[in-house]
Amino acid sequence: MVQELSMLIADDETLIRKRVRLMLGDKYRIDEVETASEALTATHKNYDVIFLDIMFPDGNGLDVCRQLKERDEYSTIIISSSLESVEAWDQAFQAGADGYLEKRELQTLDPRKIDIMIRNLVENNLLRRKAQDDNQRQKELLQILSHDVRAPFQALLGTIDILLKKSIPDSVLQDMENLHQTARDQLDFMNSLLELLRLESGDSGIRCAILDLNLPVNQALQALKVLGNAKEISLQIRLGEDLPHITGDLGRICQLCGNLLGNAIKFTPRGGSIIVSTHSCPRHGVPGVELSVVDSGVGIKDQYRQEIFNRFFRGRQRGTEGEKGAGLGLSICREIVNRHGGILEIDRGADGGTVAMAWFPESDSQKDKPGTAIGNSPHGLELQRICRPSESPIKGIPDLVYDSLVDADRRMVGRTKRAATSLNAAERCNSCQSQPSEDRPYGL
């Protein structure tokens, strides 16, 4: 059964009101008003659709439309006027109207077509409202996860750190270290989940600049090479020279490179090899740059190829030496590449192992100007400051939380520091990942 909708007809012509009621009265609950002031008053009843004339004795229908849209941007308003000029149509849609019907069309159009048009407009606005509500709920969830869920883990980790510095029996020490690692794993998982949610919401704080892809690749290499060395993995670096610049967020692309390289190290057995390369590579006729990470690891089983980008999916529960993972890394990588208009492909290598390829389109602006790109060198080691926005891109989320989510490479360095075999190696990893801004610390 077709749902009966409520409708308000605001028109000073009695003939038009009767015509609309005659056409649609069996499908809509219809109320009528004759003036602009009555229309503004009546709309507090929250009608599903409003038919609104432009010319009223006491006002202008376009002004009424603007006021109604300010009250509720998802209300459905159809301007019905005898004006047939393009300018009238343009003014109506500029005022926020969802549709426009010339009054002569009310005399000639099949009522079923008008009904279909109205219901489609109403449904579209309902979907937009639902999407906004879902987005708001997701923001609230992010706030809860950011504070109420993460804070206890941070307090627990701090307490355990203090206890570990004290003299405790050996029988308890191992249990304390296990507890500390478990809490750290859960906090890392929570941070990854937060990042994925923010990327999928489209409010991830992407801050684009012209850059050389070799820069984030080198940052990831320097941060993670200690893990490769610990597993005696042969790391071959083949970075192209004079690569076209790309437009992207340095921190996010560094996070992408770190995830891809980290996965390669994680699933490559001791004594294996990894090849990291960058080169110019057009895709579908579009010039761009490609990052390739090829490993000699365990590879991807055929039955998992369609699932590897799914949330929480893990073809293997742990790496070749027991390394843990949340199953969110490739989902985050995919969202990062999508936000940059690129392509991410993961496949099994010809001789086993895994091949990960991330492609980015060449920058359209300033690509021919030397010195304007971040990391303008064959190895991308120069770093220029990127100014940070004055506030978090998602309203309602504190800047402190925003910083902890966006700067994923800072967390990557934290994990590397825990795995580093020497303090100097850890300090070098940390120094290449963090650059302060002028107004407050902000790690790239």
Could you give the strand order of the β-sheet that contains 5-10, starting from the edge strand earlier in sequence? 28-33, 5-10, 49-52, 76-81, 99-102
Q: What's the average model confidence in pLDDT over 402-406?
A: 34
pLDDT score of 93: 94
Among 339, 397, 440, which Cα is nearest to 150's? 397
Among 152, 162, 141, 145, which Cα is nearest to 183's? 152
Residue 348 and residue 299 in contact, taking contact as beta carbons nearer than 8 Å = yes
Count of residues in the chain: 444
233/104 same-domain check: no
pLDDT score of 132: 85
> Which of 109, 137, 172 is a domain's end point?
109
Position 332 confidence tier, pLDDT thresholds 50, 70, 90 = confident
What is the overall mean pLDDT for the chain?
Answer: 77
CATH code of residue 263: 3.30.565.10
Position 280 confidence tier, pLDDT thresholds 50, 70, 90 = very high
Is residue 202 over pLDDT 80?
no
pLDDT score of 108: 85
Is residue 253 over pLDDT 50?
yes
Q: What's the average model confidence in pLDDT over 45-62?
A: 93
Specify if 218 maps to a domain: yes
Domain count, the chain: 2
The packing angle between helices 170-201 and 399-406, to 10°, is: 100
Specify if 149 maps to a domain: no
Residue 321 and residue 335 in contact, taking contact as beta carbons nearer than 8 Å = no
215/80 same-domain check: no
Residue found under tokens 């290449």: 432
What's the rounded Cα separation, in Å, for the pair 101 and 86? 12
CATH code of residue 100: 3.40.50.2300
Q: How many helices (H) and strands (E) does the chain have?
A: 14, 14
Is residue 30 over pLDDT 90?
yes
Is residue 200 over pLDDT 80?
no
Q: Phi/psi zone of residue 202: left (φ > 0), alpha (ψ -120 to 50 degrees), beta?
A: left
Q: What is the pLDDT of residues 424-435, one digit of tens each?
A: 333 333 333 333
pLDDT score of 430: 39
Among 262, 240, 238, 206, which Cα is nearest to 375's? 240
Specify if 56 maps to a domain: yes
Specify if 119 maps to a domain: no
Q: Phi/psi zone of residue 243: left (φ > 0), alpha (ψ -120 to 50 degrees), beta?
A: beta
Residue 15 and residue 40 in contact, taking contact as beta carbons nearer than 8 Å = no
Is residue 24 over pLDDT 50?
yes
pLDDT score of 49: 95
Q: What's the average model confidence in pLDDT over 219-232?
A: 89
What's the rounded Cα separation, in Å, for the pair 279 and 237? 12
Question: 5-14, 40-49, 431-440: lowest mean pLDDT where?
Answer: 431-440
Is residue 76 over pLDDT 90?
yes
Q: For residue 312, what are the domain limits?
A: 207-431
pLDDT score of 239: 93
Is residue 213 over pLDDT 90?
yes
Which DSSP string do the residues of 8-62 spell out, in sequence order?
EEE-S-HHHHHHHHHHHTTTEEEEEE-SHHHHHHHGGG--SEEEE-SEETTEEHH
Residue 7 and residue 42 in contact, taking contact as beta carbons nearer than 8 Å = no
> Which of 76, 109, 142 is a domain's end point?
109
The residues, ordered by sequence, that sit 6+ positions from 33 with a Cβ below 8 Å of its Cβ are 8, 9, 10, 39, 42
Position 422 confidence tier, pLDDT thresholds 50, 70, 90 = very low
What's the rounded Cα separation, in Å, for the pair 7 and 50? 6
Q: What's the average model confidence in pLDDT over 200-218?
A: 80
Among 224, 152, 140, 227, which Cα is nearest to 186's? 152
> Which of 109, 126, 146 is a domain's end point?
109
Among 381, 358, 370, which Cα is nearest to 277's? 358
Is residue 64 over pLDDT 90?
yes
Is residue 172 over pLDDT 60?
yes
First and final C-alpha spacing in the chain: 57
Is residue 273 over pLDDT 80?
yes
Q: What is the pLDDT of residues 147-169, one digit of tens each?
A: 677 777 778 888 888 888 888 88
Specify if 321 maps to a domain: yes
Specify if 176 maps to a domain: no
72/220 same-domain check: no
pLDDT score of 123: 93
Tokens coding 348: 């099994």
Is residue 234 over pLDDT 70?
yes
Q: What is the pLDDT of residues 107-136, one digit of tens each?
A: 888 999 999 999 999 999 999 999 888 877
Specify if 103 maps to a domain: yes
Q: What's the average model confidence in pLDDT over 289-296?
A: 93
Is residue 210 over pLDDT 80?
yes
Among 392, 383, 397, which Cα is nearest to 437's? 383
Specify if 345 maps to a domain: yes
Q: Would you call 435 exposed, middle or buried from its count of C-beta atoms within 10 A (0-12, 13-18, 19+)? A: middle
Is residue 415 over pLDDT 60?
no
98/227 same-domain check: no
